[in-house]
Structures are given as C-alpha cells and as structure tokens.
Amino acid sequence: MRAWLRHHRRALGGALAKLAAQKPAAILNALVIGIALALPAGGYALLGSVQGLAQHASLEGQLSVFLRPEAARPEAEALGGRLKRDARVREARFVPREQALRELQATEGLAEVVAALNRNPLPDAFVVRLRSADPAVLEALAQELRAEQAVAHVQADSAWLRRLRALADTARLAIALLATLLAFGMVAVTFNTIRLQILTQRDEIEIAKLLGATDGFIRRPFYYLGGLQGVAGGIVGLGILWGSLVLLNTGVAPLADSYGSSFRLPFLSAGDAFAVLLFSALLGWFGAYMSVSRYLLEIEPK
Amino acid sequence: MISFSGVAKRYPGGQQALQDISFVIKAGELAFISGHSGAGKSTLLKLIAAIERPTAGAVLVNGQNVGALQRAALPYLRRNLGLVFQDQKLLHDRSVYDNVMLPLSFGDLAPKEAARRARAALDKVGLLGRDRANPIQLSGGEQQRLAIARAVVNRPAIVIADEPTANLDADSAARILDIFVAFNQVGVTVLVATHDEALIGRYARRVLRLAQGRLQAMEATA
C-alpha cells in the first residue's frame, strides 16, 4: 500500500513538474479548455437564474377568477365558500376590487393613470391555488368556474410559466448538446497534448520498459498530467464565468432595480463549481487515457 | 540459467538473424558471445530479455520460457535481468544518481533502501563521487560503468551486456570487463557479447562463436 501511494505521489509530482516546466503551453491549454468549459457552464448558470425566477413565481396550478362588475359581494362570498370546499383547491384568496386598484396604483408608472380614472374599472377577483399542477385538473376547474353566474373571466396564470419551463427544457437540452460537443473538444486537446508528451519522452519510455517498468508505471504520470490539465482548465473556466457574470451584473443591476427587484445573475453553487472541476478533470484523464492507449503500445524497446 | 533449444529468429523483413541455436549457460557462469558485426549477437541477447521473440525453438531463463511470456509479465522478467547496451541508453537530462535510481523506482523498495542501493552500485563501478554529474559530462568508459551500475542495482541473477566495450580504449575496456568478472565472482551469471577477440583472450571463459546466425563453436579460452 505504501509503495502504491509512493508511486502515485511520484507520478503526481512528476506531472506537476512537467506542467511547471512547460508553462506557456500549459497556460494555453488551460485557456482553451477553460473557454470550452465556460460556455456550457455559463449557459447552465443563466438557465439556473431563469429557472430560479420561474420557481419564485411558482409553477403550481393557479387560476385568476374575475367576477362580473355587477356581481354583488354576497355572490362573491358564495363563490369563495364553494372554492374553499373544493378538494382540488389549496387556497382561494379573495382580492376585492378596491385592493386591486390600490395595488395597481402602487405599481410604478401607473399611479397617474389610475388617478385619472373617474371610477374603479377593476372587478372583484379570486386568486385560486390548486393542490395539483396537472393541466387537466386546472382546465377542468377553470371550465366549471366559467359556468358560474358571477364569473366573467377565468385565467390560467401558470400557462406562461409552463411555456417558460418548456423553453428552459429546450435550453437545457441545447446546453447539454453544447457541453457534449465541447467535451469532445476538451478530450481532443488533452489527447494531443499527451501524444506530444509521449513522443517527447519516447526514449525515456523505451528505456524504462527495457529496465522493467510496467505499463501502469509508465501510464500513471500521463493520466495525472491529463487530469491536472483538466483541473487547470476547469479553474480557468470558472474564472472566466465569474468574470463574465460580474460584468453582466453591472448591466442587470440597474434593470432589476428599476423593477424594484434585487435580482442578480448568480455564480454557480459550490457543488456545481466542484462538479465542473471534477468533470474537467475526468475529461482530461479520459483524453490522456485515449492518447496513452493509442501511442504507448507503439513504443516498444528495439 | 539460460538455455537455448533449437532457436531461430527471422525478422519481419525476411532476414534470418539466428538459426538452430542451442546452448546452456549455467547459473554463476561468465561466458562470451563473439562474432562479427551482423553475426546475430545482439539478436541473441534480445531474445533473452524478450525484446524479440524467437520464431522457432525455446529460450529459457531461470526455467521460464521467455518467448511465451505474456506482455504483462515482461517487466518482471527484465527486473531480474541486468541489461547493458552498447549505446548505454542513459537519460541525459537526469543526473548519474537518478539514472541508477530509475530501475529502483519501479519496485516496492523504501526510498532509503533504494538510495542506499543506488550509492552502493555507483561505488562498485567507481562513480560514487560523480553522482550529481550529468551523464553527458562523463567519459565513454564512465558512461558504460554507469550503465553497468544501473544494470546491477536491482541485484539481478543474470547480467547480459551487448558490446559493452565498443568504442572504448583498451584500459577502459579491460576495466569494464573486470567489473563483470567481479560480479560473476559473487555468483552473478554474466553473458557478454563482443567482437573484441583480444579482450576475450585475456579471460579463461567459455566463448560462443556466432557466424551468419549460426553457432559455430563453443570453446573455452586459454
């Protein structure tokens, strides 16, 4: 076990020394890998922000039920009672027309418009949250409510959120495709770097084989080199992403502030950032594995 | 013990390097292989180290048929052989000490023991004081002695050397062979391929004479 650890420590040390000895090439490789990683990671971070907004607005089934302007308050109370008794309904919040007007007045830019009105044009309404997000349940209840005498209009508020979710799913698929393509690119970069390293060390490898080095002993430093290159690329990629988000947030901040929101594009969570590093290390290792498998067998002592 | 039984080697290009070679080198023996350039000396040594595989016959090293060994078993065979090459095959970007440490780095020896063995091997060939030098700073004879130190650092039971005295002056060549004799005196089996008949003549050992890939004679020098 000690010898095994010693071999791994030596291989890791050797790989680090090689990276240090070839700084310009190592930095360029890390940059290429970093850019390749930053693109899907950035897409993932932005998608996370959009999904965060959508989740904040809730994707659960929700209906806005607007009553007829002539509907009397007792009719509204009767409808409220019917909604509360319905097993499909989690919550039915009554929004009186006066409160709706106050909320409209509080909306930035609309205060003057509302003040210019000589009467309250808004109806009484119910905001109905359902226990299920199932569109069929939502539509069934909406149909029933439309048939009510006091109801003027029923709006399924979560429809746009479902569209947003569908868009987010499409974006997630696009990011996955992009990540897959760029992963191939990363593997190709590492493959080529390790290939050049193997060719540079051809004599050393041949001598080591002559003197009794196992394939594992010879392969190990290259695996570490590939993995370290992946990690370096991952760190650069996260750095690029962080810098880009900081820049983007300088534009997002005033826009969000104008809506009274403190929304900012967030950086990846610690777990996601670690996953990016792990993923890049694995891709680096895999590129090295492919290269070593392809070229090391060709080097045999003569 | 090294045993060749009806061994032939034909290279892919069609060149017949060895034909019907049979002999036995006993454990603890020192023997020479002589012959002109192209006689098959190097091929014969490569068969022992499984660098090449025979096309016919069997090569046994310590009872193992090395021609039939799996690829994964070759490193363990080579660790038990000390190989010395005409071109030394040294790493010129490493120090003398690091070159000797190379075969020890493959195994399971603790670093202290490995360092002790490396220094002992360098001491045996008279290079202990030059352990920090680069091989390129050494003379031809010293480079060959360094190659010998690296070959014996794993304490192999068998040492095989391919033209270890080529391109060396007479004194250096004699010193190299004296080192092999010293190893042989402590029980190491040594097989040296050389075309230097004058040098062979100085030692009363068995000589395997090769010509055009065939074993012409096995004789002891006076």
Q: Which residues of B touch A301 (CB under 8 A)?
A: 51
Question: In terms of domains, do A210 and A143 share one?
Answer: no
Could you report the per-residue pLDDT of B7-58, keeping only the tens digit for each? 999 999 888 999 999 999 999 999 999 999 889 999 999 999 999 999 999 9
Q: Judge whether residue B149 has pLDDT over 90.
A: yes
Say whether A299 sits in a helix, a strand or coil: coil
Average pLDDT of the segment spanning A204-215: 92
Q: Which residues of A touch B102 (CB under 8 A)?
A: 207-208, 211
Domain containing A124 equals 62-157
Pick B75's closest partner by Cβ from A6, A203, A214.
A214
Nearest residue on chain B to A212, judged by CA atoms?
B75
Pick A204's closest partner by Cβ from B75, B91, B103.
B91
CA distance to partner chain B, nearest, from residue A12 (Å): 14
CB-based burial of residue A149 (10 Å sphere; 0-12 exposed, 13-18 middle, 19+ buried)? exposed
Q: Which residues of A touch B76 (CB under 8 A)?
A: 212
pLDDT of amino acid B9: 96
Question: In terms of domains, do A209 and A279 share one?
Answer: yes
Strands, sheet with B16-25, edge to edge from the N-terminal-most edge strand: B16-25, B2-10, B56-61, B64-65
Q: Judge whether residue A59 has pLDDT over 60.
A: no
Q: Which residues of B touch A210 (CB under 8 A)?
A: 49, 51, 78, 83, 89
Could you report the per-residue pLDDT of A182-203, keeping only the tens digit for each? 888 889 988 998 898 899 889 9
The answer to whether the CB atoms of B106 and A210 lie below 8 A apart is no
pLDDT of amino acid B215: 92
Q: Which one has a higher pLDDT value, A254 or A106?
A: A254
Q: Residue B214 pairs with which residues in a beta bridge? A: B211
Q: Is B72 on the interface with A (CB under 8 A)?
A: yes
Q: Judge whether residue A10 has pLDDT over 80.
A: yes
Q: Which residues of B touch A203 (CB under 8 A)?
A: 89, 91
Question: In terms of domains, do A127 and A240 share one?
Answer: no
Structure tokens at B49: 């180290």
pLDDT of amino acid A58: 53
Query: Which range, of A152-161, A261-270, B27-36, averages the lowest pLDDT?
Result: A152-161
pLDDT of amino acid A29: 87
Q: Judge whether residue A108 has pLDDT over 70.
A: no
Rg (CA), chain B: 17
**Which segments of chain A are extended strands (E)?**
62-67, 89-95, 125-130, 151-156
Question: In terms of domains, do A262 and A190 share one?
Answer: yes
Pick A210's closest partner by Cβ from B71, B89, B154.
B89
Question: In terms of domains, do A175 and A143 share one?
Answer: no
Instruction: Give ipTM to 2 decimals.
Output: 0.89
Question: In terms of domains, do A166 and A119 share one?
Answer: no
Answer yes or no: are the C-beta atoms of A133 and A100 closer than 8 Å: no
What's the whole-number average pLDDT of chain A? 87
Q: Is B26 on the interface with A (CB under 8 A)?
A: no
The answer to whether the CB atoms of B83 and A210 lie below 8 A apart is yes
Q: Is B79 on the interface with A (CB under 8 A)?
A: yes
Q: Which one has a higher pLDDT value, B117 or A266?
A: B117
The answer to whether the CB atoms of B79 and A214 lie below 8 A apart is no
Final residue belonging to a domain, choices A157, A183, A206: A157
Question: In terms of domains, do A178 and A135 share one?
Answer: no
pLDDT of amino acid B198: 86
Question: In terms of domains, do A87 and A223 share one?
Answer: no
Residue B111: phi and psi, rounded to 5, are -55, -40
Question: In terms of domains, do A30 and A124 share one?
Answer: no
Question: In terms of domains, do A123 and A90 share one?
Answer: yes
Q: Is A8 on the interface with B (CB under 8 A)?
A: no
- Predicted confidence band at A284 (pLDDT cuts at 50, 70, 90)? very high
Final residue belonging to a domain, choices A140, A157, A174: A157
* Residue at token pair 């390293």: A197
Q: Which residues of A touch B150 (CB under 8 A)?
A: 211
Closest CA to A228 of A26, A88, A62: A26
The answer to whether the CB atoms of B75 and A204 lie below 8 A apart is no
- Predicted confidence band at B78 (pLDDT cuts at 50, 70, 90)? very high
Question: In terms of domains, do A177 and A90 share one?
Answer: no
pLDDT of amino acid A256: 84
Rg (CA), chain A: 31
Give dist(CA B36, CA B38) in Å, integer. Answer: 6
pLDDT of amino acid A287: 93
Q: Is A216 on the interface with B (CB under 8 A)?
A: no
pLDDT of amino acid A51: 67
Residue A252: phi and psi, rounded to 5, are -70, -35
Q: Is B82 on the interface with A (CB under 8 A)?
A: no
Q: Is A21 on the interface with B (CB under 8 A)?
A: no
- Predicted confidence band at A55 (pLDDT cuts at 50, 70, 90)? low
- The DSSP H or E segment spanning A55 is helix A23-57
- Predicted confidence band at A57 (pLDDT cuts at 50, 70, 90)? low
- Predicted confidence band at A100 (pLDDT cuts at 50, 70, 90)? confident
- Predicted confidence band at A162 (pLDDT cuts at 50, 70, 90)? confident
pLDDT of amino acid A113: 79
- The DSSP H or E segment spanning B120 is helix B111-124
Say whether B202 sits in a helix, a strand or coil: coil
pLDDT of amino acid A295: 86
- Predicted confidence band at A120 (pLDDT cuts at 50, 70, 90)? confident
Q: Judge whether residue A103 has pLDDT over 90.
A: no
With a pLDDT cut of 70, the percent of chain B lying above it is 99
**Which B-chain residues 137-176 have CB contacts (< 8 A) with chain A?**
150, 154
Average pLDDT of the segment spanning A258-284: 89
CATH code, domain with A107: 3.30.70.3040
Domain total in chain A: 2
Question: In terms of domains, do A114 and A205 share one?
Answer: no
Nearest residue on chain B to A300, judged by CA atoms?
B51
Q: Is A210 on the interface with B (CB under 8 A)?
A: yes
CB neighbour list of residue A133: distance below 8 Å, 6 or more residues apart: A59, A60, A61, A158
pLDDT of amino acid A56: 57
Q: Which residues of A touch B71 (CB under 8 A)?
A: 215
The answer to whether the CB atoms of B106 and A213 lie below 8 A apart is yes
Final residue belonging to a domain, choices A128, A157, A186: A157
Q: Is A204 on the interface with B (CB under 8 A)?
A: yes
- Predicted confidence band at A157 (pLDDT cuts at 50, 70, 90)? low
Nearest residue on chain B to A205, judged by CA atoms?
B91
Q: Judge whether residue A236 has pLDDT over 80.
A: yes
